[in-house]
Amino acid sequence: MNNTYAKLNEVIRSAKTVQIMKDNGTVYHFKLYPFGERGTYIAPELMTEITESLTQSIEEHFPEFDYIASPEPGGHTWGMLAAYKLQRPINILRLSTELYEDFQLCVKRETAYNENYICFDGFKKNDRVLIVDDVVSSGATIRSIAVQMKEMGIELVGVQAILAKGEHYRQLEEDFGIPVRVLSKV
């Protein structure tokens, strides 16, 4: 882990592990990071450290993009904070619900512990987009988004995440020819 992010690294080290039972009876051991999709309480100091660090990394590594795209349920919070700080637009990739029926397109996303649909709306061909997400684990979420963006003629300029679990993010870099930057790794 990077020693620069003291508060972030502390919550990563102390994150509780819970078991998620999949439909097929297998158990997935899920870390409850406060900044992640099933996190709850985020202290203001941690929020500040992550937001400042994300925006600094984005400014350094991704100077050219039209807007940020961030997936629910975890990434959109951080994408929104980074977009606000950078004064850039954001397009939130929503999980499908009965509340939204007029999406441009929805694609299936299957991770190690669940399956759902990510819905795209408001994207245009030739848009230059930066994905901001909370955690890159297997890379399945980013992969499904990147494949769909390519099919839509959208230029994915890269991915900025808070945490990478393992080295799967490197395969995303290789497969899609994009930089993937993270604040910390476990």
* pLDDT score, position 105: 65
The answer as to whether 92 is a domain residue is yes
The answer as to whether 140 is a domain residue is yes
The answer as to whether 34 is a domain residue is no
Beta strand residue intervals within the chain, DSSP E: 16-21, 27-32, 67-71, 90-95, 105-110, 115-120, 128-136, 155-164, 180-185
* pLDDT score, position 102: 63
Tens digits of per-residue pLDDT, 87-134? 999 999 988 765 556 666 677 666 666 677 788 888 999 999 999 999
Question: Which pTM does this prediction carry?
Answer: 0.90
The answer as to whether 73 is a domain residue is yes
Do you find a cis peptide bond into 73, omega within 30 degrees of 0?
A: yes
Could you give the percent of the chain with pLDDT greater than 90?
Answer: 68
Q: What is the CATH number of the domain that holds 106?
A: 3.40.50.2020
The answer as to whether 99 is a domain residue is yes
Contact predicate 55/78, CB 8 Å: no
The answer as to whether 14 is a domain residue is no
Contact predicate 166/69, CB 8 Å: no
Contact predicate 129/159, CB 8 Å: no
* pLDDT score, position 134: 96
Q: Model confidence at 58, in pLDDT bands (50, 70, 90)? A: very high
- Count how many domains the chain has: 1
Q: Which domain holds residue 85?
A: 46-185
